[in-house]
């Protein structure tokens, strides 16, 4: 519990057997109540490793649903077990669990509805080994997206995120893609609905075992992000009516 609120950390996993224990050991269980790991049909021993670590909720997809599909299962399970605050943490050890305290308290104190761990604030991205082409790509996309959605985030592409229960219950996650662009669709929905977003500086690590997407998939992802932001703007102008921006009752 954190200020009387239940904190659940969700771990969207794919081939994370080699890094899961390192991630697990840094999770602050003084405030984290439960863990949910969703394995997206990994080809390694991620599920067995999760059970060895006694992670409370381990779900395995029989077929690979994609990064977005994995998150949908994560959030649904977190809400099912009564989470008030949900933090998504990648189990590939690219993001440090040591920021969970900072991110959770910003939400528990009712200051923000969403907190992002930003690799771009400060010099964490390049210092941690982010490839230069990805850094430039990130900066270009973020500038374009900020203009289109009228926001001032340092990056839209971090995989380290904290949410209130209200946000996850209200926005229409089921209308989003099951692929990597899910993250951007979700942020677009959050901004569109008027929720407050905070960012904290987050160091990151790039190493062989950390998950990443190749150049061709990065290009597909980039075009998808721009399409999401353009759709966001057209909906704000009333020129489109997309289902993804319809909040739940």
pLDDT at 131 over 70: yes
Q: How far is CA 194 from CA 7, 101, 134, 190, in A?
A: 23, 25, 29, 6
For residue 184 the two structure tokens come to: 């951007």
71: exposed, middle or buried (C-beta count within 10 Å: 0-12, 13-18, 19+)?
Answer: buried
Mean pLDDT across 192-214: 80
pTM to 2 decimal places: 0.93
Each residue's pLDDT tens digit, 143-157: 999 999 999 999 999
pLDDT at 123 over 80: no
Q: Which residues pair with 38 in a beta bridge?
A: 12, 59
102: exposed, middle or buried (C-beta count within 10 Å: 0-12, 13-18, 19+)?
Answer: middle
pLDDT at 161 over 90: yes
| Complete domains list, the chain, with CATH | 7-245 (3.90.550.10)
Among 32-41, 123-132, 151-160, 199-208, which is the least confidently predicted range?
A: 123-132
Q: Which residue, chain included where needed, has tokens 């703007």?
A: 233
Average pLDDT over the chain, rounded to an integer: 93
């Amino acid at each position: 519990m954190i200020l009387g609120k239940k904190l659940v950390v969700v771990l969207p996993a794919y081939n994370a057997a080699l890094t899961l224990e390192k991630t697990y050991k840094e999770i602050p269980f003084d405030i984290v109540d439960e863990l949910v790991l969703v394995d997206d049909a990994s080809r390694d021993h991620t599920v067995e490793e999760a059970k060895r670590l006694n992670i409370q909720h381990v779900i395995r997809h029989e077929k690979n649903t994609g990064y977005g599909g994995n998150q949908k299962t994560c959030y649904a399970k977190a809400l099912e077990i009564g989470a008030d605050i949900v933090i998504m943490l990648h189990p590939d050890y690219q993001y440090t669990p040591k920021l969970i305290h900072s991110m959770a308290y910003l939400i528990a104190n009712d200051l923000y509805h969403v907190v992002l761990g930003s690799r771009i604030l400060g010099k964490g991205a390049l210092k941690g080994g982010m490839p230069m082409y990805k850094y430039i790509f990130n900066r270009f996309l973020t500038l374009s997206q900020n203009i289109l959605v009228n926001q001032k985030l340092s990056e839209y592409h971090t995989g380290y995120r904290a949410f209130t229960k209200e946000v996850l219950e209200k926005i229409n996650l089921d209308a989003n893609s099951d692929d990597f662009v899910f993250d951007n669709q979700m942020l677009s929905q959050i901004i569109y609905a008027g929720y407050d977003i905070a960012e904290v500086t987050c160091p990151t690590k790039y190493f062989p075992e950390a998950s990443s997407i190749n150049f061709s998939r990065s290009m597909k992802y980039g075009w998808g992000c721009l399409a999401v932001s353009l759709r966001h703007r057209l909906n704000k102008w009333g020129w489109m009516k997309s289902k993804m921006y319809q909040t739940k009752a």
